[in-house]
Homo-oligomer: A and B are copies of this chain.
Amino acid sequence: MDTATTLPRRVRGPRAESSRARLLAAAADVLGREGYTALTMERVAAASGVAKTTLYRHWPTKAALCMDLYLDEAGHELADPDTGDVRRDLEAIVSDVVRLQTRTVAGAAFLGLVAEAQIHPSSRDAFLAEFAERRRGLTRKVLRRAVARRQLRRGVDLDLVIDAIGGATTFRLLQGHAPLDARFAKALVALVLDGARP
């Protein structure tokens, strides 16, 4: 395990890239089929055929591995829809998140990271910086543009809008009490834009 702290964090070269890809594919497979509890470093090394020391050289912890699983899926979702209309921009963002969380291994990786962040507070900062701030940054950009176009009230608390949208989505994912789908994405954006009053 000492390799995790003494070796360089980034492993370079085509051989490293291919072991990284094999390890991520094996981890995604275990996570997708068997869930977060079954995902252990031992299991990933065995399933990939890559040495455990190599696995630890890429990711010192299971949380770090899950973060990369999440970001690999989420990375290409972080595109700015820029449709010219705040409703359509937000619907695109929520639909992307819903698809990511429900149709890819990112949902299970995200729930695992939420759990890890509560149990090991040290992983919380990385989780916040990598996951939360990247996505918040994109939504903030969309909302600022909407304020400039007068599609949103001047002075509206953008972080609060992000919390209501991201929070409702996360709440359904965590509690699993109601469907996360395109209909939900549209209705949530309409509620946050227009409110629940008559």
Contact = CB atoms under 8 A, between A and B. Distances in A.
A7 interface: no
Given A192-B195, A193-B197, A196-B156, A171 B161 contact: no
A192 B198 contact: no
A151 to B, nearest CB: 7
A152 B198 contact: yes
Given A176-B124, A177-B132, A187-B160, A193 B196 contact: yes
A124 to B, nearest CB: 7
Nearest to A152: B196
B121 A174 contact: no
B163 A171 contact: yes
Nearest to A146: B196
A148 interface: no
Interface of A: 35-37, 111-112, 114-121, 124, 128, 132, 136, 150-154, 156-157, 159-161, 163-172, 174-178, 184, 187-188, 191-198
Given A112-B118, A152-B198, 12 more contacts: A37-B120, A112-B119, A114-B115, A128-B176, A128-B177, A160-B188, A163-B167, A163-B178, A167-B171, A170-B170, A170-B171, A193-B195
25 contacts: A36-B118, A36-B119, A114-B174, A115-B118, A117-B174, A128-B177, A132-B175, A151-B198, A153-B196, A156-B196, A157-B187, A157-B191, A159-B178, A160-B187, A160-B191, A163-B171, A163-B172, A164-B167, A164-B192, A166-B167, A170-B170, A170-B174, A191-B195, A194-B195, A195-B195
